Each structure stands twice: as structure tokens, then as C-alpha cells.
Amino acid sequence: MKITYLGHSAVKVEVSNKIIYIDPFLSGNPKAPITADQITSADIIIITHDHGDHLGDAFSIAKRTNAWIVSQYEITVLANENGIQKVEPMNIGGPISVEGIKIALTPAWHTSQTGGPTGVIVQALGKTLYHAGDTGLFSDMKLIGELYKPDIALLPIGGRFTMDIYQAVKAVEFIRPKYVIPIHYNTFDLIKADPEEFKKLVGNLSQVVILEPGETFNY
């Protein structure tokens, strides 16, 4: 499993010969290392919720690459209304399989305009990734850890709209992933945070991998 950080909460995941984008906010993202137009190949695009910094360029990328849009039901309806037919509607609950990739949506404590916010579990080749989306801390993260046993967790640390560093440390304690990658910080002044402080506070709970936009982690 190869994870490339694209700034903010946007990531590219390559696994089982498939290319997956999660929350591809690139246009208007000052940290993005690429433009949306540079993405010419994608199999699956997962959207955690419809805020502009997460929905981002998902629809334009899907139209150009013929990728599947995977999200909660209301967002897939919105995708249909925008001319996208390859959609996989789902909701918080049981997983589905898309292009051989198992995907499940998890709760997230946040807001949205269309439907409800989610996190997402991605499983393939015996590896599990948890992208928390935008969320505050909640105790049922323990259940996510127990049920899915994520190898890698991508957790927001920027505060104000999501968990801050201290809450994200507690989330690591709840989830117990092997690796944790901080996201959703330092894109804008309102969500400034020091990932090195986060890494120090996590200590031995998990191995923190700090990625600059454009950098890749191979697992």
C-alpha cells in the first residue's frame, strides 16, 4: 500500500494495482503538489463529506478518468446530477467491494451540507487504512480500532474544525494503529499545528509518519 499526501486531507492510495483518491481537494489548496488536471488516471474516488475542502475536484477528476465515485448516498445523487454515472452509494455500516477494494464508511463528528460526514476504511491485500475525514474525538473510535484494526490511520490535527493535537493523541490511544499520518493542518492559518509536537506526544503508542505534500509512505 502506497500513500501519497496531497496536502490538507487529500491522499492518493495505490494498492492492488488500483489508484484511489480520498478527498481530492487540489484547486484552491495552497499545499497541493499537483493540479487536478495532472491527474489522468484513477479507479476510485472516495468523498468523506461535501465541504469544498474535501469534495474538491472529485467530480471533474471522475469525469476525466472514468473513476467510480464512492460516498454516502446523498453525495452520489449529487454526482449523478453532475453527469457522473459510475457511483457506488453507501452509508455508515457494512462494507462494499469496488474494483476488488473493500470500503466501509465510519462515523465522523462534524457537519456537512449534503448528507452526513463520514470517515472511511480501505482494505486490500491484507492491509487496512483508516481515513478519519473531518471529525472531533469520539469514544467509538475504540470500536473502529477493535473492528478493523487499522494498520495506518490518517487523523486530522488542526483543531478548530476537527480534533486538535491533544485530542488526536487520544484518538491514537483508542485506535492503536501501527502507523499514524497527521492530516488537515497548516493549509490555512486557522488550522496551524505542529506535527512534531503531535509525534512527541504520541510517543510509543504508534509510529507517526509526517509527510510533506507530495511525499509518499510505503507500507
State which amino acid sits at residue 63: K
- What is the dihedral angle through the alpha carbons of 25, 174, 110, 65, rounded to the nearest 10 degrees? 30
CB 151 within 8 A of CB 129: yes
pLDDT, tens digit (0-9, with 9 covering 90-100), for 82-101:
999 999 999 999 999 999 99
Are 65 and 41 within 8 A, CB to CB? yes
pLDDT of residue 11: 98
- Residue 111 is predicted with a pLDDT of 98
CA 95 to each of CA 91, 100, 104: distance values in angstroms, whole numbers, following the listed order? 9, 12, 4
pLDDT at 165: 98
What is residue 55's predicted lDDT score, i.e. its pLDDT? 98
* Residue-level pLDDT at 120: 99
Per-residue pLDDT tens over the stretch 130-139: 999 999 999 9
Ranges of residues in the chain with a pLDDT under 50 are none
